[in-house]
Amino acid sequence: MIGKGREIGLDRNKSVESYLYASDKKRIIELVTKMGSMVDSALKNALEAFIEANALLAEKIIAGDDEVDAMEGQVDLECLRSIAMRQPVREELRFIFAVLKTITDLERIGDESVNIARWVVELRKYPRAAVNPTLIDMWDISRAMLRDALNAFKSSDGNLSEELCRRDDQLDRMYEDVFGEFIDLMASYKTNDVNMVRAVAGQMWIARHLERIGDHVTNIAERVYFMDKGETLARN
């Protein structure tokens, strides 16, 4: 009877711990989702600032990066607290690992948006070069990838991961193509058109930042796959 009572007590404790961990997980998911929304907004505003040459909006994006960094720190603390108090195992540890890696990539996507905003401010010093339409396409793809990766994280759905990786390959090809176009365009200017060269070089750097955003989104997709499947996503 004593042994049976002890088993009941252990089962009850396990049930309580499971409930408490579920509460931790819900809170952490809400925080990561909020951080992802902040980063998505920065990326959206960076496009608007670039298209409209809006330096005030660009400065707002730069100033807002501190909030993204603070949110990363808050999620870090929540994860550490959960580890210390709940002693998570297996699936729970995979979730914590995925979260810690995901917020690092979200923070870096925020940094890339800030880098683009800084170029918006810098490019106001030079003549306005025609916006390469491929840049807009890259923006649309990278932002759609980010939103899909966040939705996959929220629902712990690793099935989107392979598809997101394929879209990143498309983004890489677009970057390679537009890089060549920018090089050809800069080479076509005369030696006294140095300011136009700088204006085009700025757009080339923006394309690079967008390509890097795709890489970070792919990292998030791979974390979600590991969280869901318990194994590393094999890429061709």
Name the 3-class secondary structure at 234.
coil
Q: Count CB atoms within 10 A of the CB of residue 106.
A: 28
Flag whether pLDDT at 111 surpasses 50.
yes
Radius of gyration of the chain (CA): 22
Q: Count CB atoms within 10 A of the CB of residue 177.
A: 12
What the block records as the tokens of 12 is 């009850």
Flag whether pLDDT at 192 surpasses 80.
no
Flag whether pLDDT at 68 surpasses 90.
yes
Q: Is residue 234 part of a domain?
A: no
* pLDDT at site 10: 40
Confidence band of 166 (pLDDT split at 50, 70, 90):
confident
Number of domains in the chain: 1
User: What would the pLDDT profile of 117-156 be if each residue is shown by its tens digit?
Assistant: 999 999 999 999 999 999 999 999 999 999 999 999 998 8
What the block records as the tokens of 55 is 């330096």
CA separation for the pair 207, 142 (Å, rounded): 11
* pLDDT at site 16: 40
pTM of the model: 0.88
CA separation for the pair 70, 177 (Å, rounded): 37
Residue whose token pair is 């997101």? 164
| Domain of residue 160, residue span | 2-229
**Largest interatomic CA distance in the chain:** 94
Name 229's Cβ contacts closer than 8 Å, sequence gap at least 6: 158
More confident position, 8 or 81: 81
Q: Is residue 193 part of a domain?
A: yes
User: What would the pLDDT profile of 20-48 be if each residue is shown by its tens digit?
Assistant: 567 888 899 999 999 999 999 999 999 99
Q: Is residue 236 part of a domain?
A: no
* pLDDT at site 3: 54
* pLDDT at site 171: 96
Half-sphere exposure of 35 (CA within 13 A, CB side): 30
* pLDDT at site 86: 67
Q: Is residue 235 part of a domain?
A: no
* pLDDT at site 160: 84
CATH for 143: 1.20.58.220
